Every structure is written in structure tokens, then in C-alpha cells.
Amino acid sequence: MRAMVKVALLYGLLAFAWMLPASAQSPSASSAASAPQPPVAAGGGPETCLKCHGTEAKIITILQTPHAVKGDPHSPFGQEGCETCHGPSAAHVASRANKPKVTFGATPDDTGTFTPNVVFKGPKISAVAERNAQCLTCHQSGLRMNWQGSQHQRNDLACNDCHTIHVTKDPILVKATQPQKCFTCHAEQRADSFKFSHHPIREGLVVCADCHNPHGSPGPKLLKEFTVNEVCFTCHMEKRGPLLWEHEPVRESCLNCHTPHGSTQARLLIQRPPYLCQECHASSGHQAQPFAGQNLPGQIAANVRMMARGCVNCHSQVHGSNSPNGAFLTR
Ligand code: HEC
Ligand code: HEC
Ligand code: HEC
Ligand code: HEC
Ligand code: HEC
Ligand code: HEC
Ligand code: HEC
Ligand code: HEC
Ligand code: HEC
Ligand code: HEC
């Protein structure tokens, strides 16, 4: 709680610093280093920074992204340029300028120099809360409505653990490359994607964000919808019904029989029939005596109900039936 108040105060000050007239923004913040000073903006837009960083290929790629649209007042470049994200950085600009030559690629002597106010990567990386606050000033709504308190927020993920800003196209927004990023932390789901039966994630047809909202959700497990079934219905519409004869466990949750990411059983099943069915249908009825009277020595267990796909050979409408005679899910 106290940390949050501090952050709020810090950003209150930042907001104030923006409003100072240019004359009050002494770029010689480095000379008054004794007491902690509110950071001061260098001003001048992206050009100020590009004087030095404009030759770095991996930095200037940002110029081709929606973040660099000067004509759009919602875009960082329509506001304070690089400093909209990296924070007021007059001290950084001044300290670097004091160096007669800046050689990129060489390790600089950092004595007496300042990093920008917010650094997103590398050894001098800023705290997660500071980095995220920059992004959230513009991206709090929409998909991020449930970010606060979400599993990823509580586990200290930063926006830029998933997002890359200085690239022409952020890989997490591209179907073919999104899962790789998620797999770096979610090894179990990566292993699932290689199993015999799996949602075509590696094939690039389905992505994690088709079912999950990684920014937070009102449902369980960061799912996009309130219930598992609502998620499945977005693509498997025919399973929604309405159906004349329903199969209770299907209405309840697809996960009574399926697993979402991958299975060693066909059709993403958690077990293969008949064992799957017998988890619930073992107590009575014909399905309970698979080998009755037939397990004589030398004889193959030939009960037709147990052969091959077992139960679903006859009960083919396991998800429910619309046939007037479908009460037993056989048609
Ligand atoms: C006078 C030259 C100069 C100017 C102007 C300048 N920088 Fe830098 N900046 C540097 C140098 C040199 C480094 C260190 C490079 C390295 O470590 O490879 C650096 C490093 C950085 C880093 C990485 C910090 C770190 O320690 O990892 C960021 C972020 C950055 N600059 C942003 C900015 C922004 C934003 C502006 C404009 C407000 C800006 N720079 C203006 C020279 C400059
Ligand atoms: C000054 C406001 C502002 C800030 C700060 C900001 N953004 Fe954006 N962002 C925008 C605008 C405007 C767009 C383009 C319109 C849109 O897609 O909403 C955008 C687009 C995006 C997109 C979609 C890009 C695409 O190619 O479609 C992502 C992802 C994104 N921002 C992430 C971030 C992250 C992460 C941060 C923090 C490091 C951040 N933004 C900081 C305003 C901002
Ligand atoms: C765990 C990974 C992850 C984290 C952390 C994350 N994002 Fe995203 N973000 C994604 C994915 C995946 C998409 C694509 C969503 C889709 O296609 O539905 C996305 C899409 C976006 C978009 C573009 C779509 C839109 O909403 O307009 C923006 C902007 C964005 N994220 C901002 C942020 C901000 C700000 C943060 C930090 C508060 C953040 N993200 C944290 C994975 C992440
Ligand atoms: C939308 C927010 C945003 C804007 C605008 C932005 N940056 Fe960055 N910057 C980042 C993020 C996030 C990273 C981490 C690497 C990445 O995602 O590409 C980064 C990385 C860097 C780095 C490498 C050192 C580091 O912190 O990793 C430098 C240098 C840098 N930015 C300079 C600039 C300059 C110069 C501009 C203006 C031309 C600029 N940035 C504009 C968000 C931004
Ligand atoms: C077809 C929809 C779907 C897709 C695609 C999908 N998931 Fe899931 N995921 C689910 C469902 C449903 C659950 C809830 C499982 C449960 O409650 O047992 C889940 C649960 C999870 C969990 C929590 C696991 C646990 O045991 O609590 C993680 C982590 C996860 N998914 C990550 C991912 C990642 C990473 C991807 C992309 C590689 C992905 N998911 C793609 C539907 C999906
Ligand atoms: C930097 C590491 C990291 C990345 C990248 C990442 N996650 Fe996570 N994710 C976590 C952590 C940590 C948790 C919380 C602990 C846990 O449940 O494993 C989590 C939890 C989850 C959960 C389960 C929530 C629950 O209730 O159990 C889902 C679903 C999930 N992540 C999906 C994704 C998706 C989809 C992506 C890619 C868009 C992604 N994650 C990228 C670290 C990451
Ligand atoms: C984004 C769309 C999408 C969502 C959401 C989705 N699926 Fe799928 N599902 C697919 C695609 C595509 C296939 C592959 C179809 C094919 O190969 O013909 C598939 C295949 C399957 C299969 C058959 C797998 C096999 O090996 O033949 C099952 C079972 C399945 N999904 C169950 C589910 C369940 C349960 C959910 C909800 C947790 C769900 N799906 C959510 C798109 C989706
Ligand atoms: C009572 C167990 C059970 C439940 C619950 C269940 N399924 Fe299935 N599902 C099966 C079985 C068994 C198969 C394989 C049928 C076969 O091999 O003919 C299957 C196959 C599938 C297939 C691939 C074949 C086809 O019919 O398209 C999809 C897709 C599927 N299920 C989606 C779902 C969805 C979506 C839900 C939730 C609404 C769900 N299932 C709930 C048992 C179940
Ligand atoms: C998670 C538990 C569960 C699983 C697994 C399950 N069922 Fe069911 N099934 C039920 C319940 C509950 C009913 C409703 C029972 C009732 O109305 O008496 C039902 C009803 C049925 C009915 C209709 C019987 C009647 O009396 O209305 C058939 C047929 C059936 N199941 C076959 C199957 C088959 C075949 C499988 C395997 C593919 C299967 N079930 C898997 C729980 C399950
Ligand atoms: C040869 C076809 C056939 C096979 C194989 C079969 N069933 Fe049936 N099942 C039926 C028929 C037909 C009915 C309708 C009532 C009856 O004749 O007993 C039925 C009725 C049921 C019922 C509801 C009545 C009751 O007895 O409780 C359930 C539950 C059921 N089957 C489950 C299963 C399960 C589980 C399996 C696999 C172990 C299975 N069935 C295999 C044909 C079959």
C-alpha cells in the first residue's frame, strides 16, 4: 500500500514537471545531485534523442509503428516523443552531451552519467510498476480493464515482458510468433502442444489469445469468457445447442472429458472410452459389465461394447442429440 502511494506521488510530480515552462527546466540537473530532484524533461520531441540514438537500427524501427505518429495526439510522438515512455530525461541528455564523443557499441564509461528516467531493458532496468505505469497512462481501458489484480499483474509481469516496442511489428501480436513468447514461461503448455492430439497452436491456426486474455479477465484462468463452455462455443458453435436431449456433463463443462491444450488420447480427451464414460457410468446398467460371461480361458474379451471406440460406437451423439429417438444419445 505504501509503495503504491509512493508511486502515485512520484507520478504526480512527473505530471507537474511537464507543466514547467522551458526556462525553468534546467538541464544541469546533474550539478544539483545532492537532494533528490524531480526529473526534468529535455523537451524538443524525439529529435532531441535521435541526435544520438538516430543511428541505432534497433531503436529507430519505432518510427514505423503507431507509437510514432506525430499527427495523432494519442500517440507518444504526438505528445513528448521518446520521453512520453522513457520519462523526463534532461539529466541523461545533459550528461551524455558532456562526453565529447559517443561511440555506440563500445562500453561507455558511466561515471557521472544519468540513464533516462525509465529504462525498460538491460542492467539498469526500472521497477516493473514504473514501467507499467508509463504504458497504462494510455492503455488502461479495453482489454486491460481487469489488469489490476490479474494473475499476471500479481506475479509482477511487465507489459514489456510480452510486448516489444522498438520493432516494426510486435511478435506477440502475430499468430505465428505469439505462442513462443508465452512458452518461455509456460513450459507445460509447450509440452502439451507437442502431444498426439492438440489444438493447432504450433500450426498457427489457433493462438493462446483466442481463449485467454493475458491482461486479466473476470473469468477463471484468464479465460476470455466467464465460463469454459462459452470460450469453446466461440469456435465449436454446433456444440452450443439448443438440443432436445442433452448430456449433463457437456452442459456443465467441456473439461469433464476434454483437456484444452494437448492430450495423448485422441480428440483431446482426458481418457479414452470406455474408461472415460465409466468414470461416471460404472455403477449399474449394461456398461458396467464389459466382460460378463465372456472371460473364459483362451477366449478374447469380445464384448462388442468394449471394442475399439467402445461406447461411442453406439452412443455417437455424446454431446447431445436432436433426434426424437436420441434419448440414449445413439442417434
Ligand atoms: C548526447 C547523446 C545522447 C542523447 C541526446 C540521448 N542519449 Fe540516450 N544514451 C546515450 C548513450 C551514449 C547511451 C548508452 C549507450 C549504451 O549503453 O550502449 C544512452 C542510453 C540510453 C538508454 C538506455 C539506458 C541504459 O542504461 O540501458 C535509453 C533508454 C536512452 N538512452 C534513451 C534516451 C532518450 C529517451 C533520449 C532523449 C530524451 C536520449 N536517450 C538522448 C546517448 C544519448
Ligand atoms: C501516449 C500514449 C501511449 C503510451 C504511453 C503507450 N502507447 Fe501503446 N499505443 C498508443 C497509440 C495511440 C496506439 C495506436 C492506436 C491503438 O492501437 O490503440 C498504440 C498502440 C499500441 C499497441 C498495438 C500496436 C500495433 O502494432 O497494433 C501495443 C501492443 C501497445 N501500444 C503497447 C504499449 C506498451 C507496452 C506501452 C508501454 C511501453 C505503450 N504502448 C505506451 C499510445 C500509447
Ligand atoms: C502475458 C503477456 C502480455 C502482457 C504481460 C501484456 N500483454 Fe498486451 N497483449 C498480449 C497479447 C497476446 C495481445 C494480443 C491480444 C489479442 O489478439 O486479443 C496483446 C495486445 C495488446 C494491445 C493491442 C490490442 C489492443 O488492446 O488494442 C495493447 C495496446 C496492449 N496489449 C497493451 C498492454 C499493456 C499496456 C500491458 C501492461 C499493462 C500489456 N499489454 C501486458 C500479451 C500481453
Ligand atoms: C511506447 C513507448 C516507447 C517509446 C515512445 C520509445 N521507447 Fe524506447 N523503449 C521502450 C521499450 C518498452 C523498450 C524495451 C525494448 C523494446 O521493447 O523494444 C525500449 C528500449 C529503448 C532503448 C534500449 C535501452 C533499453 O531501455 O532497453 C533505447 C536506447 C530507447 N528505447 C530509446 C528510445 C528513443 C530514442 C525513443 C524515441 C525515438 C524511444 N526509445 C521511444 C519504450 C518506448
Ligand atoms: C482452445 C482454447 C485454449 C487455447 C488456444 C489455450 N488455452 Fe490455456 N487454457 C484453456 C482452458 C479452458 C484452461 C482452463 C483449464 C482448467 O481449468 O483446467 C486453460 C488453462 C491455462 C493455464 C493454467 C493451467 C492450470 O493448470 O491452471 C495456462 C498457464 C494456460 N492455459 C496457458 C496457455 C498458453 C500459454 C496458451 C498458448 C500456447 C494457451 N493456454 C492456449 C484454454 C485454452
Ligand atoms: C514472463 C513470464 C510469463 C509470460 C511471458 C507469460 N506468462 Fe502467463 N503466467 C506467468 C506467471 C508467473 C503466472 C502465475 C503463476 C502460474 O499460474 O503459473 C502466469 C499465469 C498464467 C495463466 C494461469 C492463470 C491461473 O489462474 O492459473 C494463464 C492462462 C497464462 N498465464 C497465460 C499466458 C499467455 C496466454 C501468455 C502469452 C500471451 C503468457 N501467459 C505469458 C508468467 C508468464
Ligand atoms: C479459436 C477457435 C477455437 C476455440 C476457442 C476452441 N477450439 Fe477446439 N478446435 C479448433 C480448431 C481449429 C480445431 C482443429 C479442427 C480440425 O483439425 O479439423 C479444434 C479441434 C478440437 C477438438 C478435436 C481435436 C482432435 O484431435 O481432433 C476438440 C476435442 C476441441 N477442439 C475441443 C475444444 C474445447 C473443449 C474448447 C474449449 C476449451 C475448444 N475446443 C475451443 C478451434 C478452437
Ligand atoms: C461426456 C464427455 C464429453 C464432454 C463433456 C464433451 N465431449 Fe467433446 N467429445 C467427447 C468424445 C468421447 C469425443 C470423441 C467422439 C468420437 O470419437 O466420435 C469428443 C469429440 C469432440 C470433438 C471432435 C469431434 C467433433 O464432434 O467435432 C469436438 C470439437 C468436441 N468434442 C468439442 C466439445 C466441446 C466444445 C464440449 C463442451 C461443450 C465437449 N466436447 C464436451 C466427449 C465429450
Ligand atoms: C462426468 C460424468 C460423465 C461422463 C464422463 C459421462 N457421462 Fe454420460 N451421463 C452423465 C450424467 C450425469 C447423465 C445423466 C444421467 C441421468 O439423467 O440419469 C448422463 C447420461 C448419459 C446417457 C443417457 C442415459 C439416460 O439415462 O438418460 C448416455 C447414453 C450416456 N450418458 C453415455 C455416456 C457415454 C457414452 C460417455 C462416454 C463417452 C459418458 N456418458 C460419459 C455423466 C457422465
Ligand atoms: C452395441 C451398442 C452399445 C454399446 C457398445 C454401448 N451401449 Fe449404452 N446403450 C445402448 C442402447 C441401445 C441403450 C438403450 C437402452 C438399452 O437398450 O439398454 C443404451 C443405454 C445406455 C445408458 C442408459 C441406460 C442405462 O443402462 O443406464 C447408458 C448410461 C449407457 N448406455 C452407457 C454406455 C457406456 C458407458 C458404454 C461403454 C462402456 C455403452 N453404453 C456401450 C447401446 C450401446
> Which residue's CA is the nearest one to ligand 7's atom 43?
235
Cα 6 to middle of ligand 4, angstroms: 24
pLDDT of residue 309: 57
Sequence-distant (6+) residues with CB within 8 A of 23 are none
The three-state secondary structure class of 92 is: helix
> Which residue's CA is the nearest one to ligand 4's atom 19?
120
User: By the 8 A CB rule, do 129 and 3 touch?
Assistant: yes
User: By the 8 A CB rule, do 199 and 261 touch?
Assistant: yes
Give me the mean pLDDT over the 141-153 stretch. Answer: 96
Residue pLDDT, tens place only, 283-313:
455 654 444 444 444 434 445 445 545 789 8
What does the alpha-carbon distance between residue 248 and residue 230 come to, in Å, rounded to a whole number? 16
Tell whether the model's pLDDT for residue 109 goes beyond 70. Answer: no
* Structural domain contains residue 6: yes
Q: Which amino acid is at 29?
A: A
> Which residue's CA is the nearest one to ligand 10's atom 24?
285
What does the alpha-carbon distance between residue 44 and residue 83 come to, in Å, rounded to a whole number? 10
**Mean pLDDT lowest among 68-72, 93-97, 104-108, 268-272:** 104-108
* Structural domain contains residue 19: yes
Residue at which a domain ends, from 80, 106, 139: 139
Tell whether the model's pLDDT for residue 99 goes beyond 90. Answer: no
Cα 224 to middle of ligand 5, angstroms: 11
Best residue for ligand 8 mutational test, from 232, 257, 275 (most atoms within 8 Å of Cβ):
257
Cα 116 to middle of ligand 8, angstroms: 54
Residue at which a domain ends, from 86, 107, 139: 139
Residue pLDDT, tens place only, 66-97:
999 999 999 999 999 999 999 999 888 887 65
Residue 178 CA, closest ligand 3 atom number: 12
Cα 7 to middle of ligand 1, angstroms: 24
The total of structural domains in the chain comes to 2
What does the alpha-carbon distance between residue 287 and residue 284 come to, in Å, rounded to a whole number? 7
Residue at which a domain ends, from 76, 107, 139: 139
What does the alpha-carbon distance between residue 215 and residue 178 come to, in Å, rounded to a whole number? 14
Cα–Cα separations (whole angstroms), residue 319 to 132, 157, 225, 288, 301: 44, 39, 21, 21, 28
CA 60 to chain centre: 26
**Beta carbon of 328 within 6 Å of any ligand 10 atom:** yes
Judge if the upstream peptide bond of residue 242 is cis by omega within 30 degrees of 0: yes
> Which residue's CA is the nearest one to ligand 8's atom 31?
267
Residue pLDDT, tens place only, 196-220:
999 999 999 999 999 999 999 999 9
pLDDT of residue 103: 39
pLDDT of residue 26: 42
**Beta carbon of 49 within 6 Å of any ligand 10 atom:** no
pLDDT over 90, % of the chain: 66
Q: Are residues 131 and 10 in the same domain?
A: yes
In this structure, the residues whose C-beta lies within 6 A of any atom of ligand 5 are 179, 182, 186, 189, 199, 201, 206, 208, 210-212, 221, 223, 228, 231, 255, 260-261
* Structural domain contains residue 121: yes
Residue pLDDT, tens place only, 26-62:
444 444 445 566 788 999 999 999 999 999 999 999 9
What does the alpha-carbon distance between residue 152 and residue 113 come to, in Å, rounded to a whole number? 34
**Beta carbon of 166 within 6 Å of any ligand 10 atom:** no
Of 186 and 285, the one with more pLDDT: 186
Tell whether the model's pLDDT for residue 20 goes beyond 90. Answer: no
Tell whether the model's pLDDT for residue 24 goes beyond 90. Answer: no
State the cell numbers at 320: 447431445
Best residue for ligand 1 mutational test, from 53, 104, 126 (most atoms within 8 Å of Cβ):
53
Residue pLDDT, tens place only, 118-131:
999 998 899 999 99
Cα 134 to middle of ligand 6, angstroms: 22
pLDDT of residue 124: 85
Q: Within 13 Å and on the Cβ side, how many CA atoms surround 169?
A: 7
pLDDT over 70, % of the chain: 75
**Beta carbon of 201 within 6 Å of any ligand 6 atom:** no
| DSSP calls for 10-43 | HHHHHHHHHHS-GGG--S-GGGG-SS--------
**Beta carbon of 311 within 6 Å of any ligand 8 atom:** no
pLDDT of residue 35: 55
Best residue for ligand 10 mutational test, from 328, 329, 330, 331 (most atoms within 8 Å of Cβ):
328
* Structural domain contains residue 54: yes
Ligand nearest to the CA of 309: 8
What does the alpha-carbon distance between residue 69 and residue 330 come to, in Å, rounded to a whole number? 60
Sequence-distant (6+) residues with CB within 8 A of 183 are 189, 190, 193
Of 227 and 22, the one with more pLDDT: 227
Tell whether the model's pLDDT for residue 13 goes beyond 50. Answer: no
* Structural domain contains residue 255: yes
**pLDDT tier, 273 (very low <50, low <70, confident <90, very high otherwise):** confident
Q: What is the mean pLDDT of the chain?
A: 83
User: By the 8 A CB rule, do 297 and 233 touch?
Assistant: no
* Structural domain contains residue 235: no
Of 326 and 38, the one with more pLDDT: 326
Q: Which domain holds residue 115?
A: 2-139
Residue 139 CA, closest ligand 3 atom number: 35
* Structural domain contains residue 291: yes
Of 78 and 110, the one with more pLDDT: 78
* Structural domain contains residue 93: yes
